[in-house]
Chain A
C-alpha cells in the first residue's frame, strides 16, 4: 500500500464540531428558504399558466355562448283565403300582412289578459320586416292558407342584445330611431306573457354570412362547409405524400448530404411562419392560376387553393409524426420479415407500415387540427371576402369561392357591430369544438392502439 494520503491534517471525524443531524444549521435554513422560494416560483408559474387558460376559456364561453341563443316571438297565426287575396291585390302587400299580424298578436295578448298598444313601426323595430316573412311563407306554401301556423319570429338584434344584457334601458336616447324605451316595455311585457322567449339559434349553426344590415341572421354553417372541403384537400394531399416521404427518409434513404438537406429542410419548413406559405400561395396563384385552362373560374378564395397552401404547411408536421411512428417500430420486425425472404419494400409495406399506422393517423389528425385553425395564409389568398355560401355541387365545394371557419371569424371580428363580435366568439366555440373532437380522436387512437415494445 502506498501512502499517498495528504500531509495536511485530516478532518476530525465524529468530533463535536459535527453538529447533530437533528439540528438545522442557519445555513441550511437559508438554503431551505431558497428551496421553498424556488418551488413557489414554479407553483406561481404553473398556476399563472392555468389561470390564463381558465380566463381564456371562460372568456370564450361567456362571450360566445350567447351566439347560440336568440330571442324569438312565437305567434299562432291563421291567414284566411280572403285575407290572402286581399293582401296580394293591394300595392303595399307586406304592409297588409303586417296589419294582420298585429291583429293576431294583439288577440293573442288579450287572451292572456294583456292589453298593449303597439303600431307597425314598433313591430318593425322589434321583429324586423314581419310582413315580408309572412308573405314569402304563404307564397311558398299555399297549402298553409286557412290552416293555423305557428311562427317563431326572431327579434331584431337590438332587442336580443337588450335581453342578453348588451345595453341598459338608460342607454337609449329619445331620438334613437332603432329602438325606443316604449319598445322595450313592449318586449318586457311579451316576455312576461311568455310570447317572447329564448330559443336555440339554429340559424347561427346552419346559416350563411349576411351583410352588416342583418347581423342577427349571420351563420357559421357555410364556412364550416368551406373548411370541410379544405381539410379534405389537405388530407388527400398531405397524408399520402407525407407518409411516402417519411417512408423514404426513414427506411430507404442512404445517409448522405442530400438526405441531410431534405431533413434540415423539413424541420425548417415546420417552423416557417404560416404567412410565408400564404405569400407562396398568392404568388403561385397570380403567376399560374386564375383565368387559365379548365380551372378558369377558380378564384384564389376557393377551398382547393386554400387546401393546397395548407397542405404544404401540414406536410412537415405529418412527416415528423410519421417518422417518429416508423422509428418506434423495432428493427426486429423488419429483420423477421427480411428473414423469411420478403423484399425490403414488402417488409415495410406489409409489416412496418401497418404497425406504425396508429401513430401516423394521430399525427395526421393533429396536423389537420392545426391546419383547420390556421388563418394568416387564408387572409392573403382572399378567403375573407363576404362570400360564405353553400356549394351547389360536390366539385363546386372545391372550386367555388368560399370562406373558412377561421377566416369567417376574422371577418366578423373586424366588423364593428356588437352582434357580429358575439358571433365571432360563437364561431370560435365551433372551431374549438371541432379541434377538440379531432384531438380526442387522436388521443383515443393513441390509447387504443398504443404498443409498448
Chain B
C-alpha cells in the first residue's frame, strides 16, 4: 500500500474520530456542554492526537529503520560474506539495490516478466541491457547470486511494506477506539490534549538537534570509511591534491585549505572595510532619507542568491580581470577563473552581511556614550573611532568571524569562479580550488561511492564543518556576551 494512501486513511480516521469523540462526550453529559470537564472540541482533538500521533511516528520510524534492517539482512545472506572486505560488500549491495529497482521499474513498465522479478532465473533474458533501456545502469554483469539477492531484497521489502501498513493502521484504529472509549464527561480532555501538544512541541524543537546529529553522523561514518582506505596523515599533511580514478591518488587537503583561506582573505579584505564603513556612515552620519534608501538596497544585495554572484564571477569579473591582468594586459593571469576573481566577488557578497551585522552592533552601543564623548568636545569621527568602535569591538570581531565562516563555506562562487586546479601558490591571479569546490566535484562524478576518491569529499566536509563550527560558536559566544553587556 503506498505511503500516501496510509497517510490519507489515517487522517480520514482522525477526522471521523474527532466527530465521534466529541459527540460521545456530549452525549455522556446529556447534550449539555456545561456538564463536561473540558470544551467539547478538546475531546475531538484528543481523538485526533490519539489516532494520528502514534501511527505517524511509527510510520516515520519504519520508513527510516526498515531499509537499514533489510539492507543488513540481505548483506548478511550474501554468499561468501565472510571473505569479502567492506568495500566489496557495499559494491555488491549497490548492485543489488540497482537491480531491485530495475526489476520493479521493469515489471511496472512491462519490460520484465513478473516471474523473473519474483524468483525465476534469468536464463534467456539479458537483464543488464533491459535495465539500461529503463535508464538504470548496472555496474557489473548480473550474476545468479546477485539476482537471488535482489529477489530476496524485493520480497523482504514487500513484506516490510505490508507489515508497516498493517501496523500503522492497527495503531490508528487502536487510538481511535481508546479515545472514543475515554470520551465521557469526567475525562480531563483538555489536560491530556495540552500535554500531548506540549510533547509535539518538544519534538519539533528537538529536530534542530536531530539535524545536527544527522550531519555529524553522516560526516563521521563516511569519513571513517575514507580513513580506512586512505591514511589520515597523508590526507592532512600531503601538499598535493591529485585524484586519479584509476587508483593511486594523492589526496592532500593542504592545497585546498590554502585556496579556501586565500580566497576568504581577499573577500574579507574587500568586504570588511566597505561593510564596516558603510555601517558607520549609515548609523552615525547619514540622514533619515539616505538611510531609508540605503538600508533596503543593502538588504537586496544580501538577498541575492550565491549562484548569481557565481555567474557574475565567471562571466563578468573574470573576463574583466583578464583584460587588465591577462595576456593582453600585464600578463599575470592565465585564465579568467582565479583566486582574485572568486575573492573579489565573494567580497561583494559579504559587504551587506558585514554591514548589517555591524549596524546592529553599532546601534546597540548606548547613546549615552556618544553624548559623553561629544560633550567632551570630541568630533564625531573621534567618537566613532575611540569610543563606539572600542565599545563595539567584540561584536564586530564576532561579525567578522561569522563573515569569515561564510566565506569559507561558500560554494557556488568558488565552483564557478575559482578554477579547478589545486595548487599551493602565492599568486592571487592563479586558479586555485577550495574545499567546497572539491566536495562538489568529487560527489557529482559518476564514480563508485565506495572509492576513496568519492569518500574523500566526506573527510573534506568534516574538516569544513569543524572549522566553521568553531568559528560560528566562537562568534556567537562573543556576540552574545557583547549583547548582554548592554542589555
The answer to whether B208 and A265 touch across the interface, beta carbons within 8 angstroms, is yes
B205 at the interface (CB under 8 A from A): yes
A424 to B468, CA, bound (A): 31
Is B104's CB under 8 angstroms from A296's CB? yes
**Contact among B105, B314, B412 for A376, CB-based, below 8 A:** B412
Q: In residues 51-90 of chain B, which contact A (Cβ within 8 Å)?
A: 63-64, 66-68, 70
Inter-chain contact A293/B311, CB cutoff 8 Å = no
5 interchain residue pairs of minimum CB distance: A273-B409, A373-B305, A42-B281, A45-B277, A283-B218
Instruction: Give the interface segment out of B118-126, B173-181, B296-304, B335-343.
Output: B296-304
Roughly how many angstroms separate A277 CA and B214 CA in the complex, as a whole number? 10
Residue of B nearest to A55 (CB): B316
Query: Do residues B212 and A291 form an inter-chain contact, with CB atoms below 8 A?
Result: no
Instruction: Choose the segment among A169-177, A201-209, A241-249 that binds chain B (4+ C-beta atoms closer than 8 Å).
Output: A241-249
Contacting residue for B315 out of A49, A63, A283, A296, CB 8 A? A63
A345 to B105, CA, bound (A): 49
Interface membership of B444, Cβ < 8 A: yes
Q: Does A253 contact B (CB under 8 A)?
A: yes
Can you name 13 A-B residue pairings with CB atoms under 8 Å?
A: A34-B379, A38-B380, A46-B294, A274-B411, A279-B219, A279-B457, A279-B461, A319-B208, A375-B310, A376-B411, A376-B412, A410-B412, A425-B311
Task: For residue A303, give the distance in angstroms from its CB to the closest CB of chain B.
Answer: 15
Number of A interface residues, CB 8 Å? 95
Say which residue of A38, A343, A370, A395 sits within 8 Å of B194 (CB atoms).
Answer: A343
Beta-carbon contact of B277 and A272 below 8 Å: no
Q: Is the CB of B101 within 8 A of A296?
A: yes
- The residue of chain A having its C-beta at the shortest distance from the C-beta of B99 within the complex is A291
Known A42-B277, A380-B443, A382-B444; judge A53-B297 contact (CB<8 A): yes
Taking the closest CB of chain B, its distance from the CB of A21, in whole angstroms, is 12
Bound-state Cα–Cα, A289 to B67, Å: 8
B interface residues, how many (CB within 8 angstroms): 107
Contact (Cβ within 8 A) A271 B379:
no
Main secondary structure of the interface of B (DSSP, over half): helix
User: Closest approach, in angstroms, between the C-beta of A60 and any C-beta of chain B?
Assistant: 7
Determine if A49 and B205 form an interchain contact, defined as CB atoms under 8 angstroms apart. Answer: no
Residues of A close to B473: CB separation below 8 A? 264, 268
14 further contact pairs, Cβ within 8 A, besides A268-B212, A316-B208, A428-B311? A38-B384, A46-B277, A49-B275, A52-B348, A59-B312, A248-B204, A273-B468, A275-B440, A276-B464, A289-B67, A297-B104, A315-B211, A413-B315, A421-B315
B67 touches A413 (CB 8 A): no
* A379 interfacial contact with B, CB 8 Å: yes
B3 touches A35 (CB 8 A): no
| Cβ contact within 8 Å between B307 and A406 | yes
* In the assembled complex, B201 has its CB within 8 A of some CB on chain A: yes
Contacts of A376 in B (CB 8 A): 306, 411-412, 415, 436, 440
Whether the Cβ atoms of A42 and B278 lie closer than 8 Å is yes
Q: Across the interface, which residues of A come within 8 angstroms of B198, CB to CB?
A: 248, 252, 345
Q: Is A45 within 8 A of B67, CB to CB?
A: no
Q: Report if B169 contacts A (CB, 8 A).
A: no
Give the docked Cα–Cα distance between A28 and B307 (Å): 50
Q: Which residue of A lies closest to B100 (CB)?
A: A291
Residue of B nearest to A384 (CB): B444
Q: Given the complex, which residues of B lie within 8 Å of A53, measured CB to CB? A: 297, 300-301
State the A residues within 8 Å of B (CB).
Answer: 31-32, 34-35, 37-39, 41-46, 48-50, 52-53, 56, 59-60, 63, 240-242, 244-245, 247-249, 252-253, 261-262, 264-269, 271-277, 279-280, 282-284, 286-297, 312, 315-316, 319, 343, 345, 369-370, 372-376, 379-380, 382, 384, 395, 406, 409-410, 413-414, 421, 424-425, 428, 431-432, 435, 439
Q: Which residues 94-113 of B sit at the A interface, judged by CB distance below 8 A?
A: 97-98, 100-101, 104-105
Task: Determine the residue in chain B with the shortest Cβ distance to A270.
Answer: B472
Q: Are A244 and B200 in touch, CB under 8 angstroms?
A: yes
Contact of B348 among A56, A269, A295 (CB under 8 A): A56
Instruction: Find out whether the CB atom of B157 lies under 8 angstroms from the CB atom of A279.
Output: no
Whether B306 pairs with A279 at a CB distance below 8 angstroms is no
Number of A-B contacts (CB under 8 A): 287
Per-residue CB contact flags for chain B residues 278-322 toward chain A (1 = under 8 Å, else 0) read 101110111000000010011011011111101110111000000
A271 CB contact (under 8 Å) in B221, B297, B411, B472: B472
B66 contacts which chain A residues (CB < 8 A)? 292-293
- The distance from the CB of A124 to the nearest CB of chain B, in whole angstroms, is 31
B201 and A413 contacting across the interface, CB-CB below 8 Å: no
- Of B9-17, B27-35, B138-146, B400-408, which binds chain A? B400-408
Residues of the B chain whose Cβ atoms lie less than 8 Å from the Cβ of A266: 208
Cβ A268 vs Cβ B105 within 8 A? no
Taken together as a complex, chains A and B put the C-alpha atoms of A261 and B280 apart, in Å, by: 34
Tell me the chain B residues, 404-435 only, with Cβ under 8 Å from chain A.
405-406, 408-412, 415-416
With an 8 A cutoff between CB atoms, is B238 at the interface?
no
Contact yes or no, A60 B439, CB < 8 A: no
Taken residue by residue from 358 to 394, chain B's Cβ proximity to chain A (1 for < 8 Å, 0 otherwise) reads as 0000000000000000000001111011000000000
A261 contact set on B, CB distance < 8 A: 209
B458 CB within 8 Å of chain A:
yes
Is B2 an interface residue when CB atoms closer than 8 A count as contact? yes
**Contact indicator A31/B409 (Cβ below 8 Å):** no
Measured CB to CB, the nearest residue on chain A to B471 is A271
Is there contact, CB below 8 Å, between A374 and B436? no
In the complex, what distance in Å separates the CA atom of A295 from the CA atom of B101? 10
Given the complex of chains A and B, what is the CA–CA distance between A372 and B204 in angstroms?
A: 23
Q: Are the C-beta atoms of A275 and B278 separated by less than 8 Å?
A: no
Q: Known contacts A268-B469, A282-B443; decide if A428 and B278 are in contact (CB<8 Å).
A: no
Knowing A56-B312, A268-B212, A319-B208, the reply to whether A297 touches B105 (Cβ < 8 A) is yes
The answer to whether B205 and A38 touch across the interface, beta carbons within 8 angstroms, is no
| 8 Å CB contact of B314 from A248, A384, A413 | A413
Determine whether the beta carbon of B307 is less than 8 Å from that of A409: yes
A373 pairs with B465, CB closer than 8 A: no
A432 contacts B308, C-beta separation under 8 Å: yes
